[in-house]
Structure 1
Amino acid sequence: MGVGIDWAESFHDVALGRPDNGIVEQFRIDHTAAGVGRLIARCLELETDPADVRVVLETRHGVLVEALTDAGFTVLPVNPDLVARRRGPAKKKDDAEDARICCLLALDQFLELRKLIPHGNLAGELRSIARDDERAARDQRRLLNRLRADLLATFPAALTIAGDDLGSPVMLKLLATWPTHAQLAGAGTDAIESFARSSRHGWPDRFAARVADALTVEQLPVRDYLIRAKATTISLTATQLLALREARKSWERRMAELLLGDTRYGRAKQPRNPDPGKAIPGGDIYLSFPGLGDILAARIAGEIGDHIEQFDTPNGLQCYAGTAPVTRRSGRSELVIARRLAHNRYLGTAVHQWAFCTLTTSTWAREFYDRKITAGKAHHSALRALANRWLEILWHCLTKGIRYDEAVHIRNRSKTLQTATAA
C-alpha cells in the first residue's frame, strides 16, 4: 500500500491508497504520540506486512520519520520540487492535495525512489553534533564581527590590546569584566595582572603592560550615552562568545570520540584504547584523508552516515553532495549546469571546504585545481570539480574498508593518465 504525508509542526495530512484502488482514505492526524499511533495502526489494518507500506513525505529527519522507520515501514523521502511539479495547472499549494500526490508517488512502482536508510545511534549523534557545531561557528563569526564593530565605536583601545586575537579566552573574559575604557582604566595594573594570571595567560606582566600602554594612547572622544548603551552589549557578546567557545571544544572532543572510539589524549592527540564498537564505521578512514580533521571529518561522516551501501556508485554520493554536474541535452544543444540545486547542503558545504583544505596538503589535488583554473574555470567551479573527485575516492575507500594512501593514489592516477594518453 502507499501512504502520502504532508507534514507540519502541529498536524499532518495523510492519504492512504492501494495499487488496485488508488486513493482510498484521507484524514488529518495531530503531531502527538496518539496521532502517529493512529496512523501506524490504520496502515497495519490495511497491510499486515510493514515492509510493504511505502511512505512518501517531503523530509528525511524528525520524530515522525523515526516513528515510521521504527514501525518497519519503507520510508521514501522526496524533494518538495517533485511534489510541486505534479500539482494542477494553477500550481496551488494545498496540504491535502500534496498528501494525495505523495500517495500516488508511493503507489507508482516504476518510479525510482531511494529508500531511507536511517542513521544508527552513533552516526545520528555525530550528525546532530556536527550540524550544531557548524551553526555555532556561524554564530561565532557573526558575534565576533558585531563585537569588533561595537568596540570600534566605543572602546577602540580594546582592539589595540587584542591585536589579531580578539576571540581569545583572555580577551573575551577581559571584555566581559570591564566592557568600557573607563572601567578598565579604573581597575589598575595589579588587578589586570592578577586577572591575566587567573585566566592562565602565559605572561601576565606583559599583558598588563600592554593594556596600560593601550589605555594611555589618545583616542577620539565618544559620547557618554553611547558608552552606556554599548557596555552591556559588549559584556553580553563576550559572554556569549565564551560559552560558544566552550561548547565547541566539548563538541570537538565528542566528535573525535565518535570517529575513533575514544577521547584523544596528550600532545600527540591520539586515543589510548580505541574501541571500534564506540565509533562509527570508517571513522579512521575519514581521518586518513588529507585536509580532514576531527571537525570537518565529523561533518562529512555525519551526513553520509554509517551505511555507505545506500550509494550504489560514487555518482550517487556525488549527486547527494551536489558536486556532480547536471547535463541538459536537447537536439544539437548541450548545457552543463555546474551546480546541482537539489542536494544535501550540509554535506555540500563540508566537501567544498574539504577540497579547499587539500590544496596545501595534497600534491595531486593542487595540480588538479591548477589545471582547472588554467582551463578557464572559476575558483569555486574548480573546487567543486576537486570535491567531486575526492568523493569518488572516499566512496571506494569506504566500500573497500581501506585507509587513504596518497602515494598509492598518485601511482594509480599516473597509470590511468598514461593509459588515457596512449589511447
Structure 2
Amino acid sequence: MKSASNTLPEEPLNDVTAGIDWARDDHAVSVVDRRGREIARTMVEHTAAGLRDLITFLARHGVGEVAIERPDGPVIDTLLGAALTVVVISPNQVKNLRGRYGSAGNKDDRFDAFVLADTLRTDRARLRRLEPDTADTIALRRACRARKDLVSHRVAVANQLRSHLRNVFPGAVGMFADLDSTISLAFLGRFTTQTRADWLTPQRLTDWLTKQGYSGRTDPATLHARLTAAPRGITGTDADTQAHITQALLAVLTTLVAQIKTLSAQIEAQLAAHADAHIFTSLPRSGRVRAARLLAEIGDCRAKFPTPESLACLAGAAPSTRQSGKLRAVTFRWSCDKQLRDAVTDFAGDTRHTNPWAADLYQRARDRGHDHPHAVRILARAWLYVIWHCWQQNVAYNPDRHHALQRVLTAAQNQAA
C-alpha cells in the first residue's frame, strides 16, 4: 500500500522538464529549461528501439520529470522503469492550455509536447506525480474492462438475434426470461424454425427440458402455451434459408456467453488473491464481479486520492459548479473517469434495494425532484465517502459502525413503536 506524498518538489531536477505527446505510431518529445525555452525536441517511434532512444534522449538532457497525457501503456512502463517522475495531464487540460500560447487553437503534436513540458514547469503546485497501482490491480482492471466490453457485445448480438426472430420465429423470443440464457440458447440450437417447433407438444417439450436439466421454474405447459400463442413464423424453403442467419447469430452469442463466464471466473480468482478484496466484497450487493470492478477502477494507491472529495470528483459523482458575478450554476460533471463513474453508479444504484440508508437517501433525492440517474449519482457520492474511509483505513465495511445507517434504522424502529 502506497502512502507517500505524490507532490512534486519545488524545482525540477537539473531545472529541465519534458513533455511527451503520445500517439499510436510515434511520439513527440520536447524539453524546456527553467525559463521556458525549448532546448531540445525529437520524434521517437513506438517500437522497442524507439522507446530505448527516448530514455537515452531524456538522460542526455538531464530530464527527471516527464508530463504525458495518458496514465498507462508501454511508454509509461518504460518511463517508470527508468526511474523518471511521470505526471499525467489530461487531454482536456492540454486543449485548454493551448490558449496560453496563442489564440489560433491549432493542434500539433510537437507543440502539444512543448505545452506539456512547460505546464510541468509552471504549474508544479497543482500537479501530482503518477503513483501506479500494483500489477495485481492493473491485471484485474484489464480483466474487468474486457468483461464489460464482452457484455456490451453480448447485449448487441442478443438484440440483433431478437430482432431477427421477431420476423422469422416470434415464438422463440418470449418463451424464456432471457434470450441469452443457457436453456434459451439450447432451444434455439435444436428448434431453429417454426417448422421444427411445430413438432413439439407439451409432453415432448417436457421430455426435452428434462434432458437439458431445466430448472423447472416455469411449467413446461406454460412454456408451450407461450410458444403456440405467439404469431407463427415463416415456414418452407424461406424458413430454412433464414435458419442460417439464426445459427450464425446463435454461434456468436453462445461464444460470448461462454467467454464471459470464463472471464468472470478468472476475475473472481484474481479478486480473491488481492490484498484489498476484503474491503470491496464487504460492501452490500457488491458480489464478486462488481466488487472487482470497484477495486480495479479505484485502484490501490492511497496517495492518489488524499480526500474523499478528490475521489468523488474523478468519479463524476460530484457536480460541477460555475460562478460568474451573480450567476451560479451547478451542472453535470462531464470531465471524469467514465469507467470509474460507471462502476460506482452501478454499485450504488443496486444498494438501495437492500440498504435502508441508501434507500432513504435515494428516495429523498427523488422527492426533491431529481430524476433516477441524478439520484443515483447523489447516492454514489455518499457511498464514495464511506468507501474512501474503509479504503484508507484498510478495513471492511461494517454496518454496525455506519452511523448514518444506524440513525435510519433507529428512526424506523421508533416510528414502528
TM over 0.5, yes or no? yes
CA–CA separation in structure 2 for the residues paired with 1:67 and 1:377: 46
CA–CA separation in structure 1 for the residues paired with 2:378 and 2:106: 38
SS in 1 for 2:314: helix
CA–CA separation in structure 1 for the residues paired with 2:367 and 2:196: 56
Gaps of 5+ in 2: 1-15, 412-417
Q: Is contact 2:20-2:116 (8 Å) kept? A: yes
Confirm or deny that 1:242 pairs with 2:242. no
Q: Is contact 1:2-1:103 (8 Å) kept? A: yes
Equivalent runs, 1:278-317 vs 2, <5 Å = 279=274, 281-317=275-311
CA–CA separation in structure 2 for the residues paired with 1:108 and 1:411: 43
Instruction: State the match for 2:110 in structure 1.
Output: 96
Instruction: State the match for 1:348 in structure 2.
Output: 341
CA–CA separation in structure 1 for the residues paired with 2:291 and 2:284: 10
Confirm or deny that 1:82 pairs with 2:82. no
Confirm or deny that 1:148 pairs with 2:162. yes
Q: Against the structure 1 CA distance between its residues 177 and 107, is the aligned structure 2 distance closer, same or farther, given a 3 Å change threshold?
A: farther
Root-mean-square deviation (CA, aligned residues, Å) is 2.9
SS in 2 for 1:105: helix
CA–CA separation in structure 2 for the residues paired with 1:285 and 1:174: 41
Instruction: State the match for 1:54 in structure 2.
Output: 65
Number of residue pairs the alignment of both structures matches: 390
Confirm or deny that 1:324 pairs with 2:318. yes
SS in 1 for 2:352: coil
Confirm or deny that 1:115 pairs with 2:149. no
Instruction: State the match for 1:393 in structure 2.
Output: 386
CA apart distance, 1:235 = 1.3
SS in 2 for 1:5: strand
Identify the range of structure 1 (193-202 vs 386-395) with the bigger mean alpha-carbon deviation.
193-202
Instruction: State the match for 2:184 in structure 1.
Output: 171
Instruction: State the match for 1:381 in structure 2.
Output: 374
Q: Is contact 1:144-1:167 (8 Å) kept? A: yes
Q: Is contact 2:297-2:343 (8 Å) kept? A: no
CA–CA separation in structure 2 for the residues paired with 1:223 and 1:177: 16
Q: Deviations over 1:355-385 (max 9, x none)?
A: 1111111111111112222222222222111
TM-score of the pair, normalised by structure 1: 0.83
Q: Which amino acid letter does the alignment assign opposite residue 57 of structure 2?
A: R
CA apart distance, 1:91 = 0.9
Tell which has more relative contact order, 1 or 2 (C-alpha 8 A, sep 6+).
2
Q: Is contact 1:259-1:284 (8 Å) kept? A: no
CA apart distance, 1:46 = 1.8
Q: Which amino acid letter does the alignment assign opposite residue 238 of structure 1?
A: L
CA–CA separation in structure 2 for the residues paired with 1:63 and 1:199: 47
CA apart distance, 1:221 = 6.0
Confirm or deny that 1:231 pairs with 2:225. no
Q: Which amino acid letter does the alignment assign opposite residue 126 of structure 2?
A: E
CA apart distance, 1:180 = 2.1
CA–CA separation in structure 1 for the residues paired with 2:395 and 2:155: 37
Percent same amino acid at aligned positions? 28
SS in 1 for 2:124: coil
TM-score of the pair, normalised by structure 2: 0.84
Q: Which amino acid letter does the alignment assign opposite residue 244 of structure 2?
A: T
Q: Is contact 1:364-1:410 (8 Å) kept? A: no
Confirm or deny that 1:43 pairs with 2:71. no
Gaps of 5+ in 1: 262-278, 419-423
CA apart distance, 1:409 = 0.9
Q: Against the structure 1 CA distance between its residues 293 and 91, is the aligned structure 2 distance closer, same or farther, given a 3 Å change threshold?
A: same
Confirm or deny that 1:333 pairs with 2:327. yes
Confirm or deny that 1:200 pairs with 2:193. no
Q: Deviations over 1:264-289 (max 9, x none)?
A: xxxxxxxxxxxxxxx1x321111111
SS in 2 for 1:328: strand
Q: Against the structure 1 CA distance between its residues 186 and 388, is the aligned structure 2 distance closer, same or farther, given a 3 Å change threshold?
A: same
CA apart distance, 1:195 = 6.4
Q: Deviations over 1:292-313 (max 9, x none)?
A: 1111111111011121232111
Identify the range of structure 1 (175-184 vs 99-108) with the bigger mean alpha-carbon deviation.
175-184
SS in 2 for 1:157: helix
CA–CA separation in structure 2 for the residues paired with 1:75 and 1:325: 29
CA apart distance, 1:20 = 4.3
SS in 2 for 1:4: strand
1:63 to 71, 74, 82: 74
SS in 1 for 2:141: helix
Confirm or deny that 1:31 pairs with 2:46. yes
CA–CA separation in structure 1 for the residues paired with 2:311 and 2:21: 27
CA apart distance, 1:132 = 1.1
Q: Is contact 2:194-2:233 (8 Å) kept? A: no
Q: Deviations over 1:229-267 (max 9, x none)?
A: 532222122222222222222222222222222xxxxxx
CA–CA separation in structure 1 for the residues paired with 2:236 and 2:34: 75
Equivalent runs, 1:178-217 vs 2, <5 Å = 178-185=191-198, 196=209, 199-202=212-215
Q: Is contact 1:60-1:77 (8 Å) kept? A: yes
Q: Which amino acid letter does the alignment assign opposite residue 11 of structure 1?
A: D
Q: Against the structure 1 CA distance between its residues 194 and 15, is the aligned structure 2 distance closer, same or farther, given a 3 Å change threshold?
A: farther
CA apart distance, 1:22 = 2.4
SS in 1 for 2:127: coil
CA–CA separation in structure 1 for the residues paired with 2:407 and 2:214: 51
Q: Which amino acid letter does the alignment assign opposite residue 256 of structure 1?
A: E
Instruction: State the match for 1:276 in structure 2.
Output: none
CA–CA separation in structure 1 for the residues paired with 2:288 and 2:250: 26
Instruction: State the match for 2:357 in structure 1.
Output: 364
SS in 2 for 1:96: helix
Q: Which amino acid letter does the alignment assign opposite residue 179 of structure 1?
A: T
1:253 to 259, 265, 280: 265
